Chain A
């Protein structure tokens, strides 16, 4: 039966080419616009560490002085500095209460390979501690990360990103080679595979969709050399922001992440944090009432509102656009089906049930949806290509994945079928006798 309906549908669609083309075009434009913007939203609000993110947490506390203290008025984002001070970061790091923990800050350094004639160039850097690599599951192409012992001994070692390895060493195994970082010699012990979590969750200060870091250096080593720091810093009281005395100043400038794989551990760590803050308040380091928070990775991204508001606005716009296109299609399909009242009347008079007429008309609507969906898919490919040309930081991330591909088809066919229900229902209700008579 379905084959017969298909044939009828094809014949009917062919009869009024312009109207069919118009319906397909409207569906395709609507689907294209929706899928383009939804894909961008999907990519930008995606999980940067799939499978791992639920056990990664961002502890925060409020070590500031009493100035501007207004707990009732403060918006949630002002209740905590976004980062930690050196003292708190080091205390939490050395207490080792979590499965993994890493303290870190971003920076920018001039890089040059030893014994090469290439001019030095700037590369983004990350100064962090040993657990960074196992905690975030960074993929290594060659070598390994450094150990806590190497952190403590301020080892002159470096892990480099794949881009930098390609640039300096043409992608070869460069472990054991030496690079100059701001004029200091560091030995390469590891090379990463391309690794660019999006959003750049562990440090949003250097750009929400920032690209991959070139060099990873032990935090202690970086502070020894006073390598240039980049990102946000918030100071209070006597904190001056002088780069050489950041360890002792009242400034928050470090990110601290922990991995806790079981709910009991998470609860225990929350307890530990509030005890820590209470203790710091008791010894007089913290002035404000003890206040701590620990969001998980996705909660943190949500809290920081990482998805640009324009992207959400574009999704709304596309949905509204799609709605207009659908209404347009419903109207056109209604016109088309009603024009065929005579044909429907003949079929009904010859014994076709109302249900089978309905099914026939819905098949026709579904075909329009299918073709519109395919055309819409092509349009969203084109749309995403246009997005990638845009001068925004997240542009390069905009690619269609399998989820969105399937969703496109489901939405296209589903929406058109729904659009077809009303006209098909109206058309199959015509009284056959009346139609036959009027002919």
Chain B
């Protein structure tokens, strides 16, 4: 086996151009496939970002009331009471946003009053018992007491004093206070610098709207009661397995209370998640498709060139066979040749893969390509080469020795 490498090299040197084209093609394919496989994994991981809520049983309804009918608070209470009375409903409320939904409300959060630059930008969830209704998990402290809530519209109109309590996520707690306990600490929120004391920490609660992946856990719960007239939408948690039934009944109930109400959106939580990550999944699918086609094209290219070489070297093969080489030796020859070409391609391809990754990191803020993807690409290309060369190599092996005596 080892002894054959010498002749193979000198044969390749006579076909420098063709050989380097194969090497280049394998290198590019290797580089693209490494990065694409990595991107696919990355996109699928993004699409699986946990929301921290009871996804299977949460449904969401956006309703719009035409005109204004006066007593907003009473109407909201009536809506919620009716929803909570539906059999199968565990909890219902109105919230300003849902994790991974379209609408997000943000503010800055500071560790001291009158800070010159704010500590962190967070996304906030408002609404009565939003944490409980969504099914988020407390890891420390408590959710809000009923007496701590004020109506959001009263608050912005300056008619109510804000309650000085806040619940934050573990991710935010770590961002603000490091490993120290966040419970009982104060933060100052928004441009009005309202002091709020952390009374609870939930394990996670994903932000809504388009946020960077690193900021998805930087969220808070604030004790403001929401109504549909200030941009809130209904969130309902059903008993396990009843989400679809509850969603239909809830819409019916809301329409019954006010037939002029427009139901803008009614969706299960799965629909919200699918909607948010549809682009990532589509991109992952596209990358997989491109990889497969790319590998097929490369394989066919190898088949084509190997066939050409076999055709060109029929006489030499015949001579070797006549001089005593076995079929398996001829087969080995072409397999080894392909292995060498693939190896050269893979070495260049890995350097190229790294380069492409650097470019992507700079342009698209992607993470660094983990080294484990390089051997995956290498093995893939080696296998591909061997499979592609098999048919032409077998054809070469079947060249009879008598060819040497002709022409």
A residues sitting closer than 8 Å to B (CB atoms) are 19, 22, 25-26, 29, 33, 66-70, 108, 110, 119-122, 182-184, 228, 235-244, 308-310, 312-314, 317-318, 320-321, 323-325, 327-328, 330-332, 334-336, 338-339, 390-392, 422, 426
Cβ-based interface call for B278 (8 A) = yes
Contact pick for B67, options A182, A320, A323, CB 8 Å:
A182
Residues of A within 8 Å of B309, CB to CB, are: 335
Interface check B375, CB cutoff 8 A:
no
Contact A392 to B117, CB < 8 A, known contacts A236-B191, A324-B298: no
Stretch binding the partner chain, chosen from B22-30, B175-183, B317-325, B326-334:
B22-30
In Å, the complex CA distance between A69 and B115 comes to 11
Is B305's CB within 8 Å of the partner chain A?
yes
B191 close to A238 (CB less than 8 A): yes
If A67-B117, A243-B230 are given as contacts, then 15 extra A-B residue pairs at C-beta distance below 8 Å, sorted by A number, are A22-B304, A66-B116, A68-B118, A122-B262, A122-B264, A239-B191, A240-B157, A244-B157, A309-B363, A313-B364, A317-B290, A328-B301, A331-B304, A334-B18, A422-B17
Residue B248 is within 8 A (CB to CB) of chain A in the complex = no
**Residues of chain B lying within 8 A (CB to CB) of residue A325:** 297
Which of chain B's residues 60-75 have a Cβ closer than 8 Å to chain A? Answer: 64, 66-67
B156 neighbours in A (Cβ, 8 Å): 240-242
Instruction: Give the residue of B36, B282, B287, B305 whose beta carbon is less than 8 angstroms from that of A332.
Output: B305
Interface status of B9 (Cβ within 8 A of chain A): no
Q: In the complex, how many residue pairs between chain A and chain B have their CB atoms under 8 Å apart? A: 138
Smallest distance from the beta carbon of B388 to chain A beta carbons, Å?
12
**B290 to A67, Cβ gap below 8 A?**
no
What 10 A-B pairs have minimum CB-CB distances, sorted nearest first? Answer: A183-B67, A335-B308, A391-B278, A331-B21, A328-B301, A242-B156, A110-B66, A327-B25, A240-B156, A332-B304
The B contact surface, by secondary structure, is helix
A-B contact pairs, 10 of them (CB 8 A): A67-B191, A70-B117, A120-B66, A120-B262, A244-B157, A309-B364, A313-B364, A320-B28, A332-B301, A390-B282
Please give me the residue from chain A that is nearest to B264 by CB atom.
A122
Please indicate the chain A residues that have their CB under 8 angstroms from the CB of B184 in the complex: none
Query: Given A110-B262, A392-B282, are A33 and B308 neighbors across the interface (CB < 8 Å)?
Result: no
Residue of A nearest to B306 (CB): A335
- Please tell me if the beta carbons of B25 and A182 are within 8 angstroms of each other in the complex: no
- Give Cα A159 to B311, complex, Å: 74
**Do B312 and A68 touch across chains, with their CB atoms under 8 A apart?**
no
> Do A324 and B305 touch (CB < 8 A)?
no
Rounded to whole Å, the gap between the CB of B292 and the closest CB of chain A is 11
CB contacts (< 8 Å) of B297 on chain A: these are 25-26, 29, 324-325, 328
**Known A68-B116, A120-B262, A335-B304; contact A330-B157, beta-carbon cutoff 8 A:** no
Residue of B nearest to A70 (CB): B117
Partner of B301, one of A67, A331, A391: A331
B112 contacts the other chain (CB 8 A): no
In the docked arrangement, what's the CA distance between A328 and B29, Å? 11
B283 within 8 A of A: yes
Q: How far is the CA of A80 from the CA of B260 in the complex (A)?
A: 41
